[in-house]
Amino acid sequence: MNSVLHAEEDPIPLSALQHAVYCLRQAALIHIEKLWAENHFTAEGDVLHAVADKGGTRKTRGARRVLSLPLASRRLNLTGVADLVEFYPTPQGEVSYPVEYKRGKPKLHRADEVQLCAQALCLEEMTGIAVPEGALFYAQTKRRVVVPFDDTLRALTEHVAAELSAVFDARKTPAPTTHKSRCRACSLIELCRPETFARPVRKWRDRMLDLVLGTE
């Protein structure tokens, strides 16, 4: 289904991929149901992006640096903006090198890498030149972590994009993640209410009625 052109469909925002890796339901709640919990972390993220968002081109160490570069992939129906893309001159033409700013520190799951890899897939489609690696810059450690776009990461990214695209098509919010620890760290937990999902309400209602009528 990846090869189909989604001319009629709204493109999927690149930022939805990182949410989808973490939890497909989270991605649906944010990007389809438009629920969003402002919290401390998202505010911090906004400040970070305000710095990266200044836009324009600067030259450093032989590379052309472009801030806030719009990206898209027709094949994967993705669209978004890269924080920073560096272009290095090579005999084959300019090779692009995406750099994404992240709050906090490197994580155990691969959400950030998938989002970055999706940028690389967009860049490859747009420039026609292979993008072998990129980097994540973490605010808390102030370090660049180099991310090679190997086959495993590419396959994972394509898989997540396909899952997300199915959710967008169905417009149906999927079940909560089975990783309970992710829910505990999720800023959407009070809007998502994972503990109530598929709870039998009718049975509960009958029990409550027995309770209020029985305890006299």
Partner 1 sequence: MKKLLNTVYVTTEGSALKKDGENLVADVDGAERARVPLHMLASVVAFGPILISPALIGACAERGITISLMDRAGRFQARIEGPVTGNVLLRRAQYKAADQAEDIVRSIVMGKIANQRAVIRRALRDYGTEMEVPARTELEHAADRMAAILRRVQLADDTIDRLRGSEGEAANLYFGVFDHLIRSPDAELRWTCRSRRPPLDAMNALLSFLYTLLTHDCRSACETAGLDPAVGFLHRDRPGRPSLALDLMEELRAPLADRLALSLVNRRQIRAGDFRHMDSGAVLLSDEGRRTVLTAWQERKKEERQHPFLQEKAPFGLVPWLQAQMLARHLRGDIDAYPPWFWT
Q: What tokens appear for 18 in the block?
A: 């990182």
Report strand pairing: 56-60 vs 12-13.
unpaired
Nearer to partner 1, 108 or 198 (CB): 198
Minimum CB–partner distance for residue 80 and partner 1 (Å): 22
DSSP string computed for 82-112: EEEEEEEEETTEEEEEEEEEESS---SSSHH
Could you give phi then psi for residue 76, rounded to 5 degrees? -95, 0
Q: Does 25 bind ligand SF4 (CB under 6 A)?
A: yes
What distance in Å separates the CA atoms of residue 192 and residue 1, rounded to the nearest whole number? 29
The SS3 of residue 3 is coil
- Taking residues 149 to 178 in sequence order and writing x for each that binds partner 1 by CB under 8 A, - otherwise, the string is ----------------------xxx-----
| 189 binds partner 1 per the rule CB under 8 A | no
Binding residues for ligand SF4, rule CB under 6 A, total: 13
209 lies in the binding site for partner 1 (CB under 8 A): yes
- Give the contact letters, 177-206, x = binds to ligand SF4 (CB under 6 A), - = no: x----xx--x-xx--x-x------------
121-132: b (≥16 Cβ within 10 Å) or e: bbbbbeeeeebe
In the complex with ligand SF4, the residue whose CB is nearer, 81 or 188, is 188
- Per CB under 8 A, residues contacting partner 1 are 32-35, 171-173, 190-191, 193, 195-202, 204-206, 208-209, 211-213, 216
